[in-house]
Each structure stands twice: as structure tokens, then as C-alpha cells.
Chains A and B, each alone.
Chain A
Amino acid sequence: MSLSNSGKLTYKLTDANGKGLSNVKISLFDHLDSYYASNSILIDERRTDGNGQVDFGDLNPKSYLIVADSAKVNNVNYTVRDYVQVTTGMTKNKETKVTDFSGTLVVKVTSYNTNQPAKNIGVLIIPVNNYEYEQYISKNLANAEFKGVTGENGIATLKIASGKDYVVLLYNTTTLSNLNWGTTSIQKGMTMNYFAGFYQ
């Protein structure tokens, strides 16, 4: 007979196909409320096993924040921030697809010379920390996590990782010259427009 009021928690990270992601650090946060502030406090940290799962064992019944910031799928680092509730006497088994931590970025490019939508413009989405200005792109092409090209309407639609700071770089697909760059960040499940233009 169990007399404890705790519950249990397991958490699994998978790629888009449901395959477990192993050896990813998962951090479990509770929060500490005081008169002045509510702070997240790290109470446990474990790495996923061969099946992509961690077992946090017994926990007091509460809501917890789960964070994983090194889950890699197709060379993209996704930022996972997930809430989970543990209840008395139950084992909560939660499974999360890391690629769900994405949003849709609609890049609309205009030529300032003609004031018309610009087609066939290359779009690179690069993590801010990896961006370095180049007049003609080469490193940035390698460091980009997502790539696209604008269509007839001057629009490129990209599904990008959410909760991360990115540089959006536009380039000429023939000369590889850097046309424009700016920064963006998107929330999970959100669709956002990004307007940009260039002189050429």
C-alpha cells in the first residue's frame, strides 16, 4: 500500500516521425513564489535514454516546466518548453515531438526600385549567434537552419523553430550578394509576416 502523495513523471522527446531522441539534456523546473517574485528553480536534470525517454521518478503533485534546448533534428536545434502536471498516485507519461516547437514565417519581399514583389530571392534563417555579416554569403549559407526562395508573388513561407532568435537574410540567388538582413523570433504554432525590401 502506497501512502505517499507523490506522482511519477516520464518524458519522451521524438523527431517528426516519432523516433526517440537520445542523450538530450532535459531540465525540470518548479517555481518558487515569494511576496516579491516568482522564480523558476531547477530541481532535476537528466539525459534521455536510447528511446528518447527520461524518468524523473517521484514528484510532488504540481505543475512543472520542462526545458530542452539541445534537441537536434535535421541539424536544427529546437527549443522545447513544455508544461506538465503531476498528480498524486499517477504516472504521467508525456511524449513531445520537438518539431512541433515551430511556427510559420511568411517572408514578403519587395524591390524598392520597382515597388513590386521580388521573385527568386533567396531567404536564409540563421541563428543570431551564428550570424556574421558577409557581402557575399558563404558561411551564412552553411549556418542557415532553414532556407527558401520567393515565388512569383515575392513570398517565401518557411516553417522555423519557435522560441529562438534568428537573422532573416535575403540574398541574390545568382550573385549570392547579401541584399538585406533583420532579426525575428516566432512563438510556437504562430504564423507571422516578415516584410523586407532591397535596392538593386
Chain B
Amino acid sequence: MKGYFFIVLTLLIATASCEKEVVVKLAEGEITGKLNYKLTDDTGKGLSGLKVYIYNPGSKQDPNSPIDSAITSSVGEVNFTDLLPNNYQLKTDSIKLNNNDYSVDEYVQITAGIERKKTTKVTDFSGTLIIRLLSYETRTPIQDQGVVAFPVNKIHVTSDNIADVVKSSTLKGLTDKNGYVSLKVPANQIFDFIVHHKTYGNYGWGFGSYQVAKGKTLNITLYSSFL
């Protein structure tokens, strides 16, 4: 009788401990997922040392505070684990690339039991400005003028530095015979323009404030009267 009781007791304990273990695994497998996120340059090379913030935008607590952050590794990756299934927002500080500042801001969905891998080319956070330059007096297109976009929050243009701004900018082009020039610029940043004669200088600026969203195109008409 004693022996029988011992066997039953052992079985009970075994069952109980088994159940406990299974329950834990169920919970682990069921409720969270992971994110592997990589930031690259135009060539697909990982960008290291960048701070990535992850937000839970649907949170009823404080959706404007990040729930976590991490710095990209030597191959440009960050990993976030134990994320509940949800949509998350990923943001970075401004990233300097090709002499311009880019900001990443995008969403990703995490599902339970899965590692989501996402790779983002930082320069994809750009939009296109299609600028048409017309004469203020005649409203006809002006050909062969230089147009330079500059971020108003970062560069303060004066008559002293304007030639240098034009020289160092990568966001510039010449108008074609219909007065058009198209510039790919970082998204969600405010730009103004410098317009100048390609040989004689004759700089003008202060055409207004323009910004474009990621992957979008904005048509802009500028009127110039000084050429």
C-alpha cells in the first residue's frame, strides 16, 4: 500500500511538473515576436553606430516615448526581442549621408513566434521636387539656371556664404529648355532654394518653404525677375 501510494505521488509530481513546463513553453511561443532591423546606404552596406528608437504608437500610456532603443552594430543591425504582437514605429536621429541629413520614420508589424527581418535603405526616405523656373515678367521658362535646394533649419544663407552653399550642395541641377529641374531631397525637411546664373553667379534666394513626404513628388513653380 505504501509502495502504491509512492508511485501515485511520483506520477502526480511528474504530471504537475510536466504541465508546468508545457505551460511556460506555450506562453513563450504564443505571445511575443522579435525584430531584426538593418539600416543601409545606397549600396546596401550596413550603417553602424546609429541610434534606433522603437515606439508603440497604439499605447494608451505615452505613445510619444520610445519603449526601447539600440545602436546599430558593425553590420548595421539592431535586434529587439520580446515584443508583443503589434504595430511598432521605428525612428532614428538624423543620419548624415552623402552630405545630407536623413530621418527614418516607419512602421513594422510584429507577429507572435516570428522574427521579423526588415532592411531599410536610409536614402529611400527621400522625395522628389519638380521645380519649374519662370520669368516673373514674361511667365516664360528660363533655361540653364542653377537651382539649389537647402534645408532652412540647418543652413542660414547670407550673401557671404551663398557661393559656398552652392558649391558644397549635392541637391542641385540646371533647368532644361522648359524651365524644369528635378531634385531628389530628404523627405519631411523644409527646403528653400537658391537660383543662380550658371556662369555669372547672380544669386537669389528666399523662394519659400517646401517639403515632400517619402516617395512623393511635389511640383513647384518659382518666378525669377533678376535674370
Chain A residues proximal to chain B, CB less than 8 Å: 2-6, 30, 32-34, 41-44, 57-60
A120 and B1 alpha carbons, distance in the complex (Å):
106
Q: Name B112's contact: one of A5, A41, A42, A43 (CB within 8 Å).
A: A5
Instruction: Give the residues in chain A near B89, CB-CB below 8 Å.
Output: 41
Residues of B with C-beta under 8 A to A33? 58
CB neighbours (8 Å) of B108 from chain A are 43-44
Further pairs besides A4-B111, A34-B58, A43-B108: 20, Cβ < 8 Å: A2-B113, A3-B113, A4-B29, A4-B30, A5-B112, A6-B111, A6-B113, A6-B114, A30-B87, A32-B57, A32-B87, A34-B63, A41-B57, A41-B107, A42-B106, A42-B107, A44-B108, A44-B109, A60-B85, A60-B86
Query: In the assembled complex, which residues on chain B have CB atoms less than 8 Å from the CB atom of A60?
Result: 85-86, 109, 111
Nearest 10 Cβ contacts at the A-B interface: A3-B29, A4-B113, A6-B111, A58-B111, A4-B112, A43-B109, A3-B30, A41-B107, A43-B107, A60-B85
- Chain B 57-73, CB-CB to A under 8 Å as 1, else 0, gives 11000010000000000
User: Which A residues touch B107, using CB under 8 A?
Assistant: 30, 41-43
A-B pairs with beta carbons under 8 Å apart, 29 shown = A2-B113, A3-B26, A3-B112, A3-B113, A4-B112, A4-B113, A4-B114, A5-B30, A5-B112, A6-B85, A6-B112, A6-B113, A6-B114, A30-B87, A30-B109, A32-B57, A32-B58, A34-B63, A41-B57, A41-B89, A42-B106, A42-B107, A43-B107, A44-B108, A57-B114, A58-B111, A58-B114, A60-B86, A60-B109
- Residue of chain B at shortest CB distance from A64: B109
